Structure 1
Amino acid sequence: MGTAQAAWPADQPIRIIVPQAAGGTNDTAARLVAVELGKALNQSVVVENRPGASGAIGMQAAVQSRPDGYTLAIASDTATILNAVRSDMPWQFKRDLTGVSMIADQPIVVAASARSPYKSLANLLEAAKEKPGSIAFGTSGLGTSQQVAGEWLAREAGVQMTHVPYKGGGQAITDLVGNQVPAAVLGLAPVIGQYRSGNVRILALTSENRNAELPDVPTLRELGYKDIVLTQWVGLVAPKRTPPEIVQRLSGEVARILAQPEIVRKLKESGLDVRPMPAAQFDVFLARTVDQWQHLISTLSLRLE
């Protein structure tokens, strides 16, 4: 390493760009990690929210930053979908970003308002079959893994449902609780609080196995939709030419942070499961995930717009 790199981290703040608004799942994970990373490095670590264009604006800001270890970004499943379906994107995971560490993941849930008559997935799909297009499902936005899950389920079930994209999971949950939209396909994190309060019903999960927090909720696989297995995830990335020594240091620190029982507990309370993944493995995961989304979306002929 050169002299400047060897001094990393110098007396200069490290920023973590979150390509979504404050208060969401990715922002929560970023802020938990930022606080602990600052302690570990004895350095100021700040979270900078750069929402817009389904996350493209924030990711572009990260890519255009100097690869010196002082700019990181939060990546998620939505960002890899964006890369998979938009060939005109000025940034690409494989070319412009390197993985630092996965942080956590969560299942996607199919939920219904407690004010609605739908007490099971079968109830919901039967209603959709009786009146094609009359049942709407909300998601946190266009081009999300939630939209993929909802459209995929409707196709497999042979029903027509209307997708209602919101600007974030918070707005979708508000309308779900009020029964303005009878159903939603969302990550567990924004739903779990209202589920615990009895305001929404969780009808099914897209995970491979049942969730320990929801032992009575079946997976879509159990209900006969064996191919629909999806999770939402959040991780940390850096601009591509960030020195490998810095990437490895950051990856190791994040792994130590995610091993702290208090961090595990806080993420779990938010509906997130800790999923540490070292830099090299996460880098491979990112490239593979973009390819998998391209194949899935093409195979299903989904239009994420």
Structure 2
Amino acid sequence: MTISRRRILQSTFCATPLLQFGPCALAQPGEIARIITGFPPGGTTDAISRRLAEKLQPGYARNVIVENRSGAGGQLAVQSMKSAPVDGATILFTPMSILGVYPHTYKRLPYDPVADLIPVSNVATYDYGLAVGPAVPANVTTVPQFMDWCKANPTKANFGSGATGSTLHFLGIILGRAAGIELTHVGYRGSASMLSDLAGGSLPACCSPVGDLLAYQAAGRLRVIGTSGSKRSRFLPKVATFAEYGYTDMVFNEWYGLFLAARTPQEYVQRLNTAVAGALAAPDVINALALLGMDATPSSSIELDAMLKIDTERWGKLVKSTGFTSET
């Protein structure tokens, strides 16, 4: 794994204890920090952002607010960081896909994930799940059984995801091809309407974050038949992974990370990293993430940088293999 010279220099600074800060440090009386998200209030991203904001004050800044800049599938929030001040007061909170997958699914992006941002810390990680609803016979309880059903019912071999061009879209396509069938993708704008259609019987299956499926599974409105992690999800311990079914290349997860604007002094990066690690160690934060099917996974700046590089390269190859093209 090759890590840029800039990141190596950053990691050198990260190794130095930063117990005192200069006159420009944050957390002076009256200071305000902002966490920018690319999604509207009420969703998972917003909920995690607000929990973090609570924990980062008053230690990191006296007041930490959440600013929702929704639009273009999260792109507007990332774009806003290009003009953000480099004082550590403007923080981007985003899922990996907007930085690691979008460069391969959009012809033109208004930002460069590497040149415009500095990684700070991973926040949370979660697995994907494949679920079927009442449109699929009740005796179909495993991924191989679902693939056999699709082969026997090719006109019904459909699956949904919360967005066309998302990791979940590609997950279903890749899984179908690994099983030797073509699954037809049905794109939605978010998971709410998709899960409603799945539970109502008008959509046979879907790929979704595990956390979005838990309540429906508990209520018996759908059946999760496979998960994407390297081991079984602690939230669905009775559900086998894709790898257990023999799809050994189908090991995926998604993560949320925090980033600052490019050229932000390293002292701010490290200071925020330390504050986030403390926040993610709090039992109430760990429990709140668990309710969303997520694990708190703090990291160093350089570890997050390496994660993004690996995922960007991997998803680039996967997207290309599907033949997906974007109009924008």
- Give me the TM-score of the superposition, normalised by structure 2: 0.86
Q: 2:177 aligns to what? A: 155
State the partner residue of 2:59. Answer: 40
Paired residue for 2:128, among 96, 108, 111?
A: 108
Shift in Å at residue 209 of structure 1?
0.5
Checking the alignment, whether the CA contact within 8 Å between 2:32 and 2:64 is kept in structure 1 is yes
Of 87, 92, 99, the residue aligned with 1:68 is: 87
Structure 1 segment 110-149 matched on structure 2, within 5 A: 110-114=130-134, 116-117=136-137, 118-149=140-171
The match for 2:46 is: 27
Aligned counterpart, 2:70: 51
TM-aligned CA deviation for residue 40 of structure 1: 2.7
User: After superposition, what is the alpha-carbon deviation per residue over 1:156-199, rounded to whole angstroms, capped at 9, x for unaligned?
Assistant: 11112221111112222222221221211001121112112221
Tell whether 2:283 aligns with 1:261. Answer: yes
SS in 2 for 1:41: coil
Deviation at 1:133, TM superposition (A): 4.6
1:81 to 1:28, Cα distance in 2 relative to 1, 3 A: same
Cα distance between partner residues in 1 of 2:249 and 2:147: 18
Select the residue among 276, 291, 301 that pairs with 2:322: 301
Contact 1:135 1:182 in 2 (8 A): yes
Amino acid at match of 2:203: V
Match of 1:176 in 2: 198
Residue aligning to 2:271: 249
Would the alpha carbon gap of residues 261 and 304 (structure 1) be closer, same or farther in structure 2, given more than 3 Å must change? farther
% of aligned pairs identical?
29
Answer whether contact 2:26 2:61 (CA < 8 A) is retained: no
Letter in 2 for 1:70: A
2:103 pairs with 1:89 = no
> What secondary structure is seen at the aligned counterpart in 1 of 2:298?
strand
Following superposition, the deviation at residue 236 of structure 1 comes to 0.8
Mark the runs of 5 or more structure 2 residues left unpaired by the alignment.
Answer: 1-19
- Cα deviation code 1:86-112 (max 9, x no counterpart): 352121111111111111111100001
Q: Which residue of 2 aligns with 1:98?
A: 118
Alpha-carbon spacing, 1:149–1:194, altered in 2? closer, same or farther (3 Å)? same
Bigger CA radius of gyration: 2
For residue 120 of structure 1, report the CA deviation from its aligned partner: 2.5
Question: Which whole-Å CA distance do the structure 2 matches of 1:107 and 1:240 have between them?
Answer: 29
User: How far apart, in 2, do the equivalents of 1:169 and 1:39 lie?
Assistant: 34
Describe the SS at the equivalent of 1:98.
strand
Structure 1 unaligned spans of 5+: none
Question: Does the 8 A contact of 2:31 with 2:62 survive in 1?
Answer: yes
Deviation at 1:302, TM superposition (A): 3.6
The CA distance in 2 between the partners of 1:124 and 1:106, in whole Å, is: 23
Letter of the aligned partner of 1:75 in structure 2?
T
Does the CA-based 8 Å contact 1:94-1:287 persist in structure 2? no
Structure 1 residue 42: deviation in Å?
Answer: 4.8
The TM-score with structure 1 as length reference comes to 0.92
Aligned CA RMSD, in angstroms, stands at: 2.0
Q: State the SS of the aligned residue for 2:311.
A: helix
Tell me the CA shift for residue 81 of structure 1.
0.3
Aligned residue-pair number: 304
1:275 aligns with 2:297: yes
Looking at structure 2, the residues matched to 177 and 86 of structure 1 have their Cα atoms a distance apart, in angstroms, of 31
State the alpha-carbon separation in 2 of the partners of residues 99 and 10 from structure 1. 26
1:146-225 matched pairs, under 5 angstroms: 146-225=168-247
Question: 2-side partners of 1:223 and 1:131: how far apart?
Answer: 21
* Conserved 8 A contact 2:173-2:322: no
Quote the Cα distance in structure 1 between the aligned partners of 2:104 and 2:261: 19
Q: SS at 2:267's partner residue? A: helix
Q: Compute the displacement of 1:126 (Å).
A: 1.6
Deviation at 1:4, TM superposition (A): 6.0
Deviations 1:244-272 (A, max 9, x none): 11111110010011111121111111101
